[in-house]
Amino acid sequence: MINLILFGPPGSGKGTQAAKLVDKYELLHISTGDLFRYEIGNNTELGVKAKSYMNKGELVPDEVTIGMLQNKVEANPDVRGYIFDGFPRTEPQAEALDRFLMSKGQEVTALIALDVDDDEIVKRLLERGKTSGRADDSNEEVIRKRIRVYNETTSVVYNYYDEKGKSERIEGKGTIEEIFSRICESIEKLNV
């Protein structure tokens, strides 16, 4: 199995690259943001709860997020591996993911971090907000809040896996194809 974490600030291109990696490596793409938006669309209890955090640019509480992620993995056991996109976003989420995978005799193969500077991110997200219909993309205050949360709470997840020798940093500026080639190069080096 190959279990990748696609990591990086909001708007760094994780979703775009994940879609391409899924095709090439036959992995299941699990985006916690997409899962929350699906729940919101169906007006479920989980969705209503998640929405109140997401619209403010805050993280949804760990226990809610971890449970939802585990359910998605459990529901899809027959795959070659997973691409986790937008998860883990806190150290407790990383620890929970490790424990969960270990209970299945698996582990995180690598964390691939897309490096993009703050100004570029704000520009990309405001642009995406024009068409995505996402409330959290159309307000610059909320975007800046998400970047702050990333720097303060999420970026430590990079160090967490770096200490295990599993973190890879990729230049996230360039064309979609250029960035995709860089990611593939780094996956090929893993020898899995």
Q: Among this protein's residues, is 134 annotated catalytic? A: yes
Q: Which of 49, 124, 128, 169 is catalytic?
A: 128
Query: Minimum distance from CB of 8 to ligand ADP (Å)?
Result: 8
Q: Which of 56, 124, 134, 169 is catalytic?
A: 134
Place of tokens 């291109």: 13
Q: Residue 168: phi, psi to the nearest 5?
A: -125, 135
Q: Which of 37, 51, 89, 182 is catalytic?
A: 89
Q: Among this protein's residues, is 148 annotated catalytic? A: no
Q: Which of 14, 51, 166, 182 is catalytic?
A: 14
What burial letters (b/e) apply to 5-24, b meaning 16+ CB within 10 Å? Answer: bbbbbbbbbbbebbeebeee
Among 42, 114, 123, residue whose Cα is nearest residue 85: 114
Query: Minimum distance from CB of 91 to ligand ADP (Å)?
Result: 12
Nearer to ligand ADP, 88 or 182 (CB): 88
Q: Among this protein's residues, is 14 annotated catalytic? A: yes
Question: Which pair of tokens denotes residue 119?
Answer: 């100004």
Residues in contact with ligand ADP by CB under 6 A are 10-11, 32-33, 36, 53-54, 57-60, 65, 86-87, 89, 93, 136, 146
Place of tokens 């279990």: 3
CA 71/CA 64 separation, integer angstroms = 11
Nearest residue to ligand ADP by CB is: 33
Q: Among this protein's residues, is 80 annotated catalytic? A: no
The residues that are catalytic are 14, 89, 128, 134, 146
